[in-house]
């Protein structure tokens, strides 16, 4: 047997590699929801963390391992590869398939776990928006996916939206630059696969019968094309409209992308300019928060944090102090104060940055309800007592039958009892209204 890994965990050697993966004993497995896969996949507890083990052909395992390593070096949103194990044999000496080992993406769920209860089409749209952003980011890096689908994607909550991560790179290929044909094939394949997946969900009763899977599935193509054009398309402006150059840069920043280079050339008419972003990097707000606080959070969570840092600066009259100093004070006085209040028994519900976002949302909700500002400590206490216990553990779901594990929510519709005309059909999978509030963190692209 041979293990190929950048950093070998000795505990890997203790796993039962001489047994087919589908027969591995329960005592080594982690109870996590698995998406649909053409291969046998198991989640395993290892050295205090969870890994995903996928049985696959040797050449494909090595190819996917290298693709995921390359994507990781490029900071693409994808799972992290751990190892490839080959040369496996059972007790009788028969050869067993190779396996690819990846790190489990904490607080992420396959799309079927998000559909464990019937949800609104708007929530499906948010998942497709996240997938469109993922696909654009990969294409900007020169990565051709070749098998785009909801099944090959993991989703994490990102403020009021979702972030998507590539989880299957078997058919992927990295190139210097993709052709329009390669990009369009990926997008068309995504549309076809998603429509099929939505039809399957509808047949199982998890998508309302009056929703059209084809119409919803078409959204991935529309959203991708809109975002790609915004990020890479040329824009014609009048020579005296220089302010529109900064406007274009600001629009890209609002989408979470930074411009590395902007080309401006004269138009054939002579009195106009053509502006076009040449190098676009994703993670604009993520990098800002990482620089200011050292926290590794999702893009919209980072934007929400930056907004709260600016609010903290204004409320405390810290205009003359550097943003770095304000951010350090905010981290100690606000963010860590919120996170430290979470009791251990609730810490697996949501990742800390998402809890912080939801407490900000809860503060807005309580303020609207009472028509006055509510002290932060009172907001935290109310959220921890009345909201967070209704969430399911997204770090590691409790063991039990799949239908019970995935449906472990209490309905929170009572929260909207004072809103005339509200009913369960307007609620998403957690009983929360999908209609954006005035404090909504969705990007202009989402809206």
Can you name the residues that pair with 261 across neighbouring β-strands? 279
Residue 227 has pLDDT above 80, yes or no: yes
CATH number of 2-103: 3.30.200.20
CA distance 370 to 372: 5
- Chain center to CA of 378: 30
Distance between CA atoms of 120 and 207, rounded to whole angstroms? 8
Residues in the chain: 447
Cβ atoms within 10 Å of 162's Cβ, excluding its own = 26
* Each residue's pLDDT tens digit, 375-412: 999 999 999 998 888 876 655 443 333 333 333 333 32
> pLDDT digits over 19-58, tens only?
999 899 988 888 765 656 678 889 898 888 889 999 999 9
Report the chain's C-alpha Rg in angstroms: 23
Fold classification of 109-232 is Transferase(Phosphotransferase); domain 1 (1.10.510)
Listed residue (400, 403, 422, 402) closest to 413, CA to CA: 422
| pTM (2 d.p.) | 0.71
Q: Are 231 and 138 in contact (CB under 8 A)?
A: no
Domains of the chain, by residue range, sit at 2-103, 109-232, 235-282, 300-426
Structure tokens at 226: 């809109």
Contact 172, 143 (CB under 8 A): yes
Distances (CA, A) of 8 to 19, 47, 81, 104, 106: 21, 12, 12, 16, 20
Q: What is the DSSP-derived secondary structure letter of residue 389?
A: G
Q: What is the pLDDT of residue 395?
A: 52
CA 28, CA 443: separation in Å to the nearest integer? 41
């Amino acid at each position: 047997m041979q293990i190929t890994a950048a950093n070998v965990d000795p505990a890997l050697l203790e796993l039962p590699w001489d047994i087919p993966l589908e027969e591995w004993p329960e005592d080594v497995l982690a109870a996590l929801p698995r998406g649909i896969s053409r291969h046998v996949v198991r989640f395993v507890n290892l050295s205090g963390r969870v890994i995903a083990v996928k049985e696959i052909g040797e050449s494909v395992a090595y190819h996917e391992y290298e693709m995921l390593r390359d994507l990781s070096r490029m900071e693409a949103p994808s799972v992290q590869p751990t190892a490839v194990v080959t040369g496996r044999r059972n007790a009788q000496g028969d050869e067993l398939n190779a396996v690819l080992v990846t790190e489990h993406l904490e607080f992420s769920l396959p799309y079927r776990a998000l559909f464990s209860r019937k949800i609104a089409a708007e929530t499906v749209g948010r998942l497709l928006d996240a997938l469109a952003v993922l696909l654009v980011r990969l294409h900007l890096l020169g990565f051709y996916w070749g098998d785009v689908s909801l099944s090959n994607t993991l989703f994490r909550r990102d403020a009021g939206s979702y972030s998507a991560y590539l989880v299957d790179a078997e058919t992927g290929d990295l190139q210097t630059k993709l052709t329009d044909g390669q990009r369009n094939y990926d997008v068309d394949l995504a549309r076809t696969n998603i429509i099929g997946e939505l039809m399957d969900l509808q047949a199982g009763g998890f998508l309302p019968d009056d929703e059209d899977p084809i119409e919803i599935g078409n959204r991935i193509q529309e959203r991708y094309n809109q975002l790609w054009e915004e990020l890479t398309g040329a824009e014609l402006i009048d020579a005296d409209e220089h302010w529109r150059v900064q406007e274009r840069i600001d629009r890209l920043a609002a989408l979470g992308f930074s411009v590395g280079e902007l080309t401006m050339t004269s138009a054939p008419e002579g009195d106009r300019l053509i502006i076009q972003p040449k190098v676009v990097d994703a993670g604009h707000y993520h990098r800002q928060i990482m620089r200011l606080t050292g926290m590794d959070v999702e893009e919209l969570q980072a934007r929400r944090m930056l907004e709260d840092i600016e609010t903290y600066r204004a409320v405390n009259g810290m205009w003359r102090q550097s943003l770095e100093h304000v951010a350090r004070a905010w981290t100690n006085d606000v963010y860590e104060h919120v996170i430290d209040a979470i009791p251990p028994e609730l810490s697996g519900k949501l990742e800390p940055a998402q809890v912080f976002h939801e407490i900000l949302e809860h503060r807005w909700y309580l303020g609207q309800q009472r028509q006055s500002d509510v002290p932060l400590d009172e907001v935290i206490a109310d959220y921890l007592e009345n909201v967070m216990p209704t969430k399911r553990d997204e770090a590691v779901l409790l063991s039990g039958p799949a239908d019970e594990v995935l449906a472990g929510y209490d309905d929170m519709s009572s929260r909207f009892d004072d809103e005339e005309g509200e009913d369960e059909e307007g609620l998403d999978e957690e009983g929360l209204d999908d209609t954006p509030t005035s404090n909504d963190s969705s990007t202009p692209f989402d809206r």
